[in-house]
Amino acid sequence: MSSTIAQHSASTTQIVRPARSFQGSVTVPGDKSISHRYGMLAGLAEGTTKLSNFSTGADPHSTLGCMEALGAKVVKNGTSIEVTGVAGAFQQPTGKLDCGNSGSTMRMLAGLIASHPGTFTMIGDHSLTMRPMERIRKPLSAMGARIDLVDGHAPMTIHGGPLKAIDFETPIPSAQVKTAVLFAGLQAEGTTSLSEAVRTRDHSEHALKAFGATLSRNGEKLSIAGGQKLKAIEATVPGDISSAAFFLCSALLFPDSNLVLDSLGLNPTRAALLDVITALGGKIKVLMVEEHHGETIGTIQVNRAEELKGAEISGALSAQLIDELPVIAAIAPYTRDGVTIRDAKELRVKESDRIALVAKNLKAMGAEFTEFEDGLAIPGGQQLHGAEIDSGSDHRIAMAFAVAALKASSENVIHGAEAAAISFPEFFQFLNELAKR
């Protein structure tokens, strides 16, 4: 693809032309979720943690910046990161902790620092100040932390001090809330328990164990004893399956596609995406699989079956696929049977109102659909045309509609394309290499 990047109002524009096939091999950047957790626990641990294939996205680097401000030492050499931790005692930062665009940083780090004496104020960009933070204040306050918010939003000020264990039931499926409670429980007095009706991604459990913590699961209930110390590790971060989702969906668009994804994270709590790709008509072959620190890593090959079918995504599946739903919705018009997404109201409070932006851009490309408060119903058998795409400065929207553009009848212009760098700076480069024209 010959891509054009132009500057306009401090935003970059990417032109994506239709493709005739999608083929090649690629290794996606390190998993954002795991990079966050390894970076935080390394900062708290004793010793120097060595991480390879650390995420290239901006968000986990906001986490590393916060760890430095809290007294950890961070050395970066490309995607290799060394973090020398504070051995359990964060220092009082000289300024505010800047979380950038990262809700993960703000929510999870709140749990990690709540037990430390001092006052910690976390700030972020405009988008982050719109995201709900009350969901973590409630359990952390129950543990004894004092947290100030502005109408339930950032900036967030934590007045740290001793915490006591709680028995908590998560009101909404949220791996970030679960993590905040586990991180706080690690440093609380007593044993903290947490129950989740819908099981969310378990990277935090694996990461805590990797750094030497003991925690147990009994059915829906997780328990972690307080007063545990963490030790540095050496680890390789698996490739990010949420980033791979854009290429998996691209491969579905073309009958002769052939995509190989190397060193990909295949954690079972994230692999629901692969089930949906298969249900839509993808053929997935696992070429290699191994385990590192509890995380499954493998190489997979993806081809397309005869035609794209359709899917109905709701309930627990919507929670498991929350990051991947925008790109699934973006290719839905090209399926035979269409895609219906419900129980995904959480999409409205992400980096943008993702339901509204998906609807806006589908409409711009000529698609018919029905928008609900908690999702979308998108009929199949539609041909989309080129349009002006509004990313809303949201990385997943910019990338989702770059994928939809591959099968459109004419070129699409994506405004705010630079947002992709939040999670996947190399996205447009890789897409250009894999899309055959």
Give the residue numbers marked as catalytic.
323
The DSSP secondary-structure symbol of 185 reads H
Kind and range of the H or E element at 384?
none
Angle between helices 241-252 and 32-44 (to 10 degrees): 170
- Cβ proximity of 233 and 211 under 8 Å: yes
Sign of torsion, CA 317 319 324 325?
positive
| 3 state SS of 264 | strand
Contact 324, 247 (CB under 8 A): no
Contact 371, 347 (CB under 8 A): no
CA angle 358, 351, 413 (to 5 degrees): 45
- Residue 396's nearest CA partner among 424, 431, 371 is 424
**Spatial separation of the C-alpha atoms in residues 411 and 430, rounded to whole Å:** 18
Q: What is the DSSP string of 317-378?
A: HHHHTTTTHHHHHHHGGGSSSEEEE-S-GGGGGSSS-HHHHHHHHHHHTT---EEETTEEEE
Report the C-alpha gap between 177 and 213 in whole angstroms. 19
Q: Distance of alpha carbon 92 from its chain centroid, rounded? A: 29
